[in-house]
Structure 1
Amino acid sequence: MKYRKMPKTGDELSALGFGCMRLPMGENGKVDTDEAVRVIRRGIDGGINYVDTAWPYHDGDGELYLAKALKDGYREKVFLATKLPVWLAEKPEDMDDFLDRQLERLETGHIDYYLVHALNKARWRHAESLKVGEFLDRAKRAGKIKNAGFSFHDGPDLFDAILNAYDWDLCQIQYNFIDRNYQAGEKGLKAAAEKGLGVIVMEPLRGGALVRTVPEDVAKIWRENAPGRSPAQWGLRWLWDQPEVSVVLSGMSSMEQVEDNLEAAEQGYPGNLTETERTAVDKAARIYMDRMAVNCTGCRYCMPCPAGVKIPECFAQYNKVTMLDDLAGAKQFYGVLTKDGGKASQCVECGKCETACPQNIPIRKALKEVVQLLENEN
C-alpha cells in the first residue's frame, strides 16, 4: 500500500480508500453483515486507512454496518469519513442533530473527515442559507469533526464558487479516464490541489461499468500493453499516476475486488505509468468516447435552460448507455439527478440551447431520445 500526505492535515492516507456504498449483499437483498465486516477488515488489514460512508448509504443503514466492522480495535486503525445530508436539514440546528446521530450510529467520539454531501446548485444554495460554514466551525471547535470538506455533483463554475466559499480541508469529485471533463473534472482537480485541498476521487471505475462490460477493442489494448493487469487496475493506476489525487475510493463488494485493488495499490504512486501506458489509456478512452451518443463536452454553454432541463447531465447518462452498456445504472443515476427537476421531458423546444452550443449538437432532438431511453418504460 502506498500513502499520500493530505496537504492541510499532514495525515498519511492510503492511496486506496474503502467506499462503503456497495457492501456485499445477501440473497435476501440486504447487506450480508458478516461478509461486509470481513471484506472491510481485509481491506484495513491490507493497509487501507481511509474508510468512507454516508447517511443515506444502504437505505440509511450504511453507517451502522460500518460501525460493526470498526469494532475490535479497527476504528483506531483508520481515518473515518462520513457526510452531512444537508438536503434533509430544515434549520441550522438540524445539522448539529444529524452529526450527533452519526456519531452515535458510528459509535465514535469524532469524525476525521466530514463532508457536506453531494452538492449541486440547489443543495449549495440551501447549505449557504443554513450557514453551513458556521456549523462546520462549531463542530470543529467541539472536537466532533477534525476536518471539513464537500462532495460534488455539478458543473465547473459552481465547483469554483464552492471551492472559494470556505476554508475546506478536502473535496470529493467524480473522476476517471473517461470523465476528465465531467463535473469538476481535471480542471477542478488541479484547482483544488493548488488551493491546498486534499482531493478524494469517487467513481474511479464509473460504478464498475469500466470493468463489467469491456469492449473487445479496449480489452485488446489492455492485453497488449500489460498482460495480466485487470481493467480495474488500469483505471486505478491512471488516477494514482496523478500527484493531485490524494485518495481513490473504491466501492468494494467482494473479497476478490479487495484483493485485486490491494494488488493495484502497491503501485499507487505518482508517475507509476510509463508514457506508453498513458498512451494506451488515452486510446482506450477514445474508443469509449467514439461510442458516445451525444458529443457533449460538458462546457455548459447551453445553461441555464429556461425550462430547467439539466442538459449536460441528461446527455451524460444517455452516453453511459451507449458507451458502457449500462442502462440500469444510467436510469438509476438519472433518477437521482432529476429528482428535484431537470428532466429531458421538461424541454419546451425553445432552441436557445442550440444557438449557444459550440458543438452544434441538435439538442432538442437528442433530449427526445433521452426521454425515450431513460424516462419511458422499455
Structure 2
Amino acid sequence: MKYRINPKNNDKLSILGFGCMRFPRDEKEVEKQIIYAIENGVNYFDTAYIYPNSEAVLGRVLAKGYRDRVKIATKLPPYLIKKYEDFDKIFNEELSRLQTDRIDYYFIHMLSDVNTWHRLVNIGILRWIEEKKQKGQIINIGFSYHGGREEFISIIDEYDWEFCMIQYNYIDENNQASKSGLQYAAAKGLPVMVMEPLRGGKLVTNLPKEVYKIWDKAYLKRSPAEWAFRWIWNHPEVTVVLSGMNSMEMVEENIRAAAQAEANSFTKNDHELFNKVRIILNEKIKIPCTACNYCMPCPKGVDIPTVFSCYNDVEIEGKLMAKIKYLVQTSLKTQASNASLCSSCGKCEIHCPQKIEIQDELKNIVKKMEGFHYKPARFLIKKFMKL
C-alpha cells in the first residue's frame, strides 16, 4: 500500500480509502472485506450519519481490535441542524454507533454554499468545533462538496479548514470543483480526499464500446477501474481516493493497484490513452463547456458551468441520476442557481471562449431538466430538510 502524508498533521494515510456507503447486506462479508483491507494497509474509512447502518457496522468491526489502526471519517448533515443542541445530538449518536471516543476526520457533509456555512456559524458551530477539538473528540474538521468551482473556493476561504473532499475523476477534470479547485485547495495546504473516482461505477459499466477497445488495446493490461484510479493518483495534490468497495474482488483489485501507483508517474503513452478516451466522450457531450468560468458571475445567480455539467451527465449517468444531481447541485441551496433563473441578458455569451450560445442552451435545459416534476420535487425535499 502506498501512503501520502497529510501536510496539516503528518498523518500517514493510505492512498486508497474504504468508502462505506455501499456495504453489502451480509455483515459477515463486510467484516471480511474490512479486515482484509486493514491487514493490507488501508487505514482510512469513510462513512456518514445518513448512510444506512454504515456507521454501526463499521463500529462493530473496528471494535474487534482494529480501531487504533485506522482513521475514521464521518459526517455532520447540515440540514438536520436547527439549533445548537442538534450538534451534540447527532455527534454523540455517531460516537455511539462507531463505538469510539473520537472522530479523526469530521466532515460538514455536502456543504453546498457559503450561506449554509454562515447559517451553521450563526447557530454556534465554531464554538462547538472548538469544544470538541479541546476534548479530543474531533481531531480534524473539514467539508465535503458537490458543486461548482467558484463556490468551492469561497467555502475554502471562509474558515481554517483542515481537509476537504471533492468529486474528481478523468471525466470531471473540468467539472464541479475541477482541477483548478483541487490545486487551489492543495496550495492552501489542505489534504484533499476524492470521492466518486468511478462516478458510481459508470466509468466501468457505462462507457461507449470505443472506450473499452482503447483500454483493451492499451500497452499495459489494466481494467477500466484501475486506469481511472491511477489517473487520480497521478495527481500529487490528491491525498486519499475513496472506493465504495462491496465485494472482495474489488477490494483485492484496488489494493493491488494502490500498492503500485505513484504521483507524476504517467508516461506519454498514458496521457495519450486518456486523450483518446476524452475525444470519444466529448463527442457524446451535448455542450462543450470547459468550466473556465469566464461566463461567471451571472447577474441572476445561475451557476452556468454546473448547470451545463449536470446536463452533460445525462449521457453517462442517465436521465434520472442527472436530474437528481441537477436538483441537488443547483436548487437545494440557500440561493438557487438553476437554469430557469436566466433573464437572457446575454452578458455570459460575450465572455465565452467556446462561443456557446448560452442563453439558448439554458432555455433547452429548463425544458429537459425542469419538467413538471421539478418544482414539486424541490418543494418536498426542501420541506423534508427543514423538518
TM-score using structure 1 length: 0.88
What corresponds to 2:15 in structure 1?
Answer: 15
State the AA in 2 paired with 1:336.
V
Q: 1:369 to 1:65 in 2, by over 3 A?
A: farther
What corresponds to 2:5 in structure 1?
Answer: 5
1:336 aligns with 2:328: yes
3-state SS of the aligned residue for 2:265? coil
d(CA) in 1 for partners of 2:327 and 2:152?
Answer: 22
Q: 1:65 to 1:304 in 2, by over 3 A?
A: farther
2:358 to 352, 363, 370: 363
What corresponds to 1:153 in structure 2?
Answer: 146
Higher mean C-alpha deviation, range 193-202 or range 103-112? 193-202
Q: 1:65 to 1:364 in 2, by over 3 A?
A: farther
d(CA) in 2 for partners of 1:272 and 1:347?
Answer: 44
d(CA) in 2 for partners of 1:226 and 1:107?
Answer: 47
1:213 deviation in Å?
A: 1.6
Contact 1:87-1:126 at 8 Å conserved across structures: no
State the AA in 2 paired with 1:11.
D
TM alignment of 1:199-348, pairs within 5 A: 199-305=192-298, 308-322=301-315, 324=316, 326-337=318-329, 338-340=331-333, 341-347=336-342
d(CA) in 2 for partners of 1:183 and 1:350?
Answer: 25
String of CA shifts for 1:282-325, please: whole Å, max 9, x gaps: 33223222321012222344445455544332221211122x25
Q: 1:188 to 1:350 in 2, by over 3 A?
A: closer
1:42 deviation in Å?
A: 2.8
TM alignment of 1:71-82, pairs within 5 A: 71-82=63-74
Contact 1:176-1:205 at 8 Å conserved across structures: yes
String of CA shifts for 1:39-88, please: whole Å, max 9, x gaps: 33332233211000111223xx3322322332311222210001121232
Higher mean C-alpha deviation, range 262-271 or range 350-359? 350-359
String of CA shifts for 1:148-177, please: whole Å, max 9, x gaps: 111122333333333233322211111111
1:70 aligns with 2:65: no
Contact 2:78-2:108 at 8 Å conserved across structures: yes
Q: 1:343 to 1:262 in 2, by over 3 A?
A: same
Q: 1:226 to 1:17 in 2, by over 3 A?
A: farther
String of CA shifts for 1:70-123, please: whole Å, max 9, x gaps: 231122221000112123212334223322221112111000111111122242
What corresponds to 1:56 in structure 2?
Answer: 50
d(CA) in 1 for partners of 2:286 and 2:189?
Answer: 37
1:130 aligns with 2:123: yes
What corresponds to 2:79 in structure 1?
Answer: 87
| Equivalent pairs, count | 369
d(CA) in 1 for partners of 2:217 and 2:295?
Answer: 40
3-state SS of the aligned residue for 2:109? strand
Gaps of 5+ in 2: 374-387
RMSD, matched Cα? 2.5
Higher mean C-alpha deviation, range 225-234 or range 67-76? 67-76
String of CA shifts for 1:151-209, please: whole Å, max 9, x gaps: 12233333333323332221111111121122222222222222222111111112211
1:120 aligns with 2:115: no
d(CA) in 1 for partners of 2:318 and 2:32?
Answer: 29
State the AA in 2 paired with 1:20.
C
State the AA in 2 paired with 1:40.
I
Contact 1:174-1:202 at 8 Å conserved across structures: yes
What corresponds to 1:175 in structure 2?
Answer: 168
3-state SS of the aligned residue for 1:73? coil
d(CA) in 1 for partners of 2:131 and 2:219?
Answer: 50
Contact 2:148-2:303 at 8 Å conserved across structures: no
Gaps of 5+ in 1: 25-30
What corresponds to 2:177 in structure 1?
Answer: 184
Contact 1:13-1:49 at 8 Å conserved across structures: yes
Contact 2:148-2:306 at 8 Å conserved across structures: no
State the AA in 2 paired with 1:143.
G
What is the percentage of aligned positions where both structures have the same residue? 46
3-state SS of the aligned residue for 2:238? coil
Higher mean C-alpha deviation, range 298-307 or range 1-10? 298-307
Contact 1:237-1:267 at 8 Å conserved across structures: no
1:46 to 30, 37, 40: 40
d(CA) in 2 for partners of 1:78 and 1:209?
Answer: 29
3-state SS of the aligned residue for 2:275? helix
Higher mean C-alpha deviation, range 311-320 or range 110-119? 311-320
